[in-house]
Amino acid sequence: MIAYPQIHALFYMAKVRRCACASGTISSLGINSVLMYHHPTWETDMKTALLFPGQGAQEAGMGRLLAENDSGTMELWKKAERISRLPLRGIYWEGEGAETAKTLNVQPALTVFNLSLWLKVADSFHPEAAAGHSLGEYSAIAAAGVLPLDDVLELVSLRGRLMHEADPEGRGTMAAIVKLDRAQAEQCVVEAVKTSGEIILIANYNTPSQFVASGTRAGINALQEKVRQYKGRILPLAVSGAFHSPLMSEAALEFAKALDGLPKNRWNRARFPVYCNADPRPLTDPEQIKVLLQKQIVSPVYWIDTIKRQWEAGCTTFVECGPKEILGKMVGPILAEGAPAATSGAADALPWKVVFINDAQQ
């Protein structure tokens, strides 16, 4: 059995401008008070995959410390507010509760936060791959230069509005399934669909023992009983709709029109391969990426396959830019199956490394 990495934490105070990176210790990154979790050895010959989290990673206060110490980051937040027409700083820096969880607000706010972190370290290392979980996919395509930042902010603002409005009657919902393997989780869905006749599917394949189901409320209620019969656990999620399911079809159609409406010269070949949620393979062609973005709202997130394929492509260091340590914590459970056995339980003996980059909230 492979032990998971022991992540070490370093807090860099406001006047300290150094952090461990793929090219060694990099000075003068211009990051004030950034909380950076890293494995002690992050060598220059390691191929790096860049990861961005999606909805659920947001938190009150995210980005404030960095923005108040960096004028460029503050301008980025203001730009996101102009494009989205939402008071994002007021919602996330001064407010809390329901407003911070609304997909309408989350999508532009989390995207601007993810990208503000990336822009601070972008000159320090060159990723070999990028991916984002659900909403995070838009941070990945921006980081890879597939679309300009302004266009990405326009798209996620529209995506948030469409998904917010897609289910005004609250027909759909989502729930996390844990303590079951993939075959068991899928079998629970098959049986729940058969008994209820409702729309239910696995929307997120997160780790070998963590999945998210999406569907009608009646369908998810039927699924709860099946999961318990298989000795698993199912946890309702506080979301405003059945994301990554056919219940988002109307939103997906409208969003596809917006993608098609972008001028061809706005789309660029990716600077490094992007692994898209709906079909995680290394893509640089903007037309192929656009097709998968059009499918994403109604398609499952194949995150297990994403990490495995990045690993198979030679990536051994996984860097997550976001508010919380979410995606990086999934790397160990995903790669533990079939990875070379470590010679000891020490983190240095493991064949992969995990790095978290986060604006400090203290």
Active site residues: 134, 244
Q: CA-to-CA distance for 303 and 182, rounded, in angstroms?
A: 13
Radius of gyration of the chain measured on its C-alpha atoms: 20
Amino acid at 168: P
**For residue 79, how many other CB atoms are within 10 A of its CB?**
15
Q: CA-to-CA distance for 206 and 212, rounded, in angstroms?
A: 8
Q: CA-to-CA distance for 168 and 197, rounded, in angstroms?
A: 22
Contact 75, 119 (CB under 8 A): no
Please, what's the b/e burial string for 43-60 (b: 16 or more CB within 10 A of its CB; e: otherwise)? Answer: eeebbbbbbbbbbbbbbb
Q: CA-to-CA distance for 326 and 55, rounded, in angstroms?
A: 11
Cβ burial of 247 (10 Å; 0-12, 13-18, 19+) is buried
